[in-house]
Amino acid sequence: MNICIPVDADNGLASSVCAHFGSAPFFMIVDSENGVCRALPNRNQHHAHGMCQPLLAIQGEDLDGIVVGGIGMGALNKLLAAGLQVYQAQHPTVEMTLAALKAGQLRSMSPDAACGHHGQGHPHGHAHDHGHAHGQ
C-alpha cells in the first residue's frame, strides 16, 4: 500500500508529521510493505484558505491512502471522491504512523472531523481533533 504523509522536512522515516495537510512543505510517499519512502515538495503549499488542491500536489502518484492531521472539508471530499482512504494523523513521525497503519490502528478521517465545518476562526497549526468525540 502506498500512502502519503504530510511532513515538515525530508528526514526519511524520522520526518515529523505536519499538522495540516495543505500547508505541509513536503509529502512523504511511503510503501507500507517495505518502508521505502521519498519526499515530494508541496507545490500548492501557499494557497488561500479554502483553496487547497490536494490532488494537484500529489498528481501522478500511485497512492492508496493519505494521512492527515487537519484538512478542510473541501479538500477531504476531493480525496474521498478520488477513491483514496484518508487516515487521521495520530503520531509524531512517519515511522510511528507507518507502524500504526501496519497494526490497523489508524482511524479513518470522517467529514465531521474536517476543518471548516465549525467556523473559520481557528489556527491552522493544530494537531488536535477540535474536541469531537470520535467513534461514539
CATH of the domain at 29: 3.30.420.130
Q: What angle do CA 59, 63, 69 make, to 5 degrees?
A: 90
Say yes or no to pLDDT of 133 above 50: no
Query: If you average pLDDT over every residue of the chain, what do you get?
Result: 78
Q: Which three cell numbers stand for residue 120?
A: 473559520
Q: % helix / strand / coil in the chain, to the nearest 5?
A: 25, 25, 55
Q: Give the alpha-carbon dihedral of 13, 125, 101, 85, to 10 degrees.
A: -120
Residue 118 lies in a domain: no
Say yes or no to pLDDT of 20 above 60: yes
Residue 36 lies in a domain: yes
Domain count, the chain: 1
**116: pLDDT confidence band, cut at 50, 70 and 90?**
low
pLDDT in tens, 82-102: 899 999 999 999 999 999 999
* Residue 52 confidence (pLDDT): 53
Residue 81 lies in a domain: yes
Domain span holding position 42: 2-113
What does the DSSP 8-state code read for residue 29?
E
Mean pLDDT, to the nearest integer, of 97-117? Answer: 82
Distance of alpha carbon 50 from alpha carbon 81, whole angstroms: 17
29, β-bridge pairs: 4, 38
Distance of alpha carbon 42 from alpha carbon 56, whole angstroms: 9
Mean pLDDT, to the nearest integer, of 32-56? Answer: 73
- Identify which has the larger pLDDT, 7 or 111: 7
Distance of alpha carbon 107 from alpha carbon 32, whole angstroms: 16
**62: pLDDT confidence band, cut at 50, 70 and 90?**
very high
